[in-house]
Structure 1
């Protein structure tokens, strides 16, 4: 009986170790799967000057699609802060994605449109709703921060969107 209990504990221990390793492999692999199978979109940023000595070299990105004007809002009037909402984006004539609609309900994309999840922040005095996509910080190679002087320039950010909602910044470059 004691021998059987030791065998069961040993097998359970091995199963737990294997599951942990499998979990780590899946987490690492998901990052690469987003790039391979996700939709690639291009978003325009607004000028912003980040300065923070504690975080190293990074670019803080403020997207134009984070401001949802009243004509694009099709959701409830009272939305709580940090609620997950859906934003329907469509490409414009330059190939950059702009807001077509936003709601706290589901939205259906057609053609090249995509739905991206965002967190609702607030509504300002002009009824513009502000959201965040959770991809506002892009870390760059140490010492290259001066190449990303975003004070007076708009930039284009290439983003991969997975079918399950994960987002990843692929590239940040100055707008032509």
Structure 2
């Protein structure tokens, strides 16, 4: 009986590791496509450890204006923030509001979970990151163009996000 439980637990661990490894690839099949705008002239190439090509993008949604910030008290660094995005007539998503409580989304809306970074007193805006600012691109794009770009991301129902395309 002990041997059976040991093998059962071992198989369960292998199955969990397998699912963790392949869930990134399931985002394309089960995720929702969302288009975002980059901040002008903010796309940069960097080189990480072992000379792996990395890209860093500041999105418009990283910068939340005071009128969209629906949090009354001061927020600590790295606090979880929920940002409601609405699509415009072109299908590009923009900030509707941000809160530290969960927000329900309607048909043409999505909610992204981010982390509060800081408040810029000169610009009167809050800076939030979402975990999609730095990534290894698995597609070709022209990183030398410094115009505003449309970035396509996939949002999985289980919360994972990935960048799938950049249109310069």
TM bucket, shorter chain: 0.7 to 0.9
Aligned positions of 1:55-94 closer than 5 A: 55-94=51-90
The match for 1:11 is: 4
Normalising by the residue count of structure 1, what TM-score does the alignment of the two structures yield?
A: 0.83
Number of residue-to-residue matches in the alignment: 164
The yes-or-no answer on 1:99 pairing with 2:99 is no
**Contact 1:90-1:113 at 8 Å conserved across structures:** yes
Task: Quote how far apart the aligned CAs of 1:80 are.
Answer: 0.9
Deviations 1:36-63 (A, max 9, x none): 2222100111223333363422221110
CA–CA separation in structure 1 for the residues paired with 2:113 and 2:125: 18
Which blocks of at least 5 consecutive residues in structure 1 are unaligned?
1-6
CA–CA separation in structure 2 for the residues paired with 1:110 and 1:50: 36
The yes-or-no answer on 1:149 pairing with 2:137 is no
Aligned positions of 1:1-176 closer than 5 A: 8=2, 10-46=3-39, 47-48=41-42, 49-52=44-47, 54=49, 55-125=51-121, 126-140=123-137, 147-150=142-145, 152-174=146-168
The match for 1:3 is: none
CA–CA separation in structure 2 for the residues paired with 1:38 and 1:140: 18
Q: Counterpart of 2:38 in 1: which secondary structure? A: strand
Normalising by the residue count of structure 2, what TM-score does the alignment of the two structures yield?
A: 0.86
**Contact 1:76-1:104 at 8 Å conserved across structures:** no
**Contact 1:83-1:120 at 8 Å conserved across structures:** yes
CA–CA separation in structure 1 for the residues paired with 2:68 and 2:111: 14
